[in-house]
Structure 1
């Protein structure tokens, strides 16, 4: 039982590493006017075009910025709300068990 749990955690860790490695598009430099250039690979993958509106948020732990295509914000909020509900449900089950 313990080894299965450890393997699940290990597999989960590898999954996160894989996801992060596919999420990294490179480093950017802030210009004199505070501008950055989003790497072409990121623009292509996310369908970003000149003139698209972006929402810039501070990371909740003050660790950086998060940038979202404005049109995608509602979808992100809905997905995150569902994630929080699942976490709450799992936490409640652990408390009851």
Structure 2
């Protein structure tokens, strides 16, 4: 167990994911994701652009029916979804820091 713990810490993964490596995308086995990182597989875009967020992702990020998300994009990095309240909080923090820097 001690060696498994050291290996997990070295690779930045959980012991469980190290021992029970059953992560797959389609039929391809992949290495465990680092702690705090997730790969839930693939989704298909519907005819109106809709996607279904995997259940495990919804549970991890406490996403519920009716929650609003901000869709962000970066040409090099891709698309990100952020809860509206988290996005608004970050914008307010950035504005506050901006004002502090202007007043200095």
TM-score in terms of structure 1 length: 0.54
Quick one: distance in 1 between partners of 2:89 and 2:56? 22
What is residue 57 of structure 2 aligned with on the other side?
42
CA deviation string 1:29-62 (max 9, x = no partner): 1111100000000001111011100000002x43
Higher strand share: 2
Question: Structure 2: 5+ residue runs without aligned partners?
Answer: 1-9, 14-32, 95-104
Higher helix share: 1
What is residue 71 of structure 1 aligned with on the other side?
85
Deviation at 1:25, TM superposition (A): 1.8
Q: Structure 1 residue 33 and structure 2 residue 30: aligned?
A: no
The CA RMSD measured in Å over matched residues stands at 2.8
Divergent runs of 4+, >3 A: 14-17, 74-79
Question: Structure 1: 5+ residue runs without aligned partners?
Answer: 1-10, 80-97
Quick one: distance in 1 between partners of 2:42 and 2:48? 18
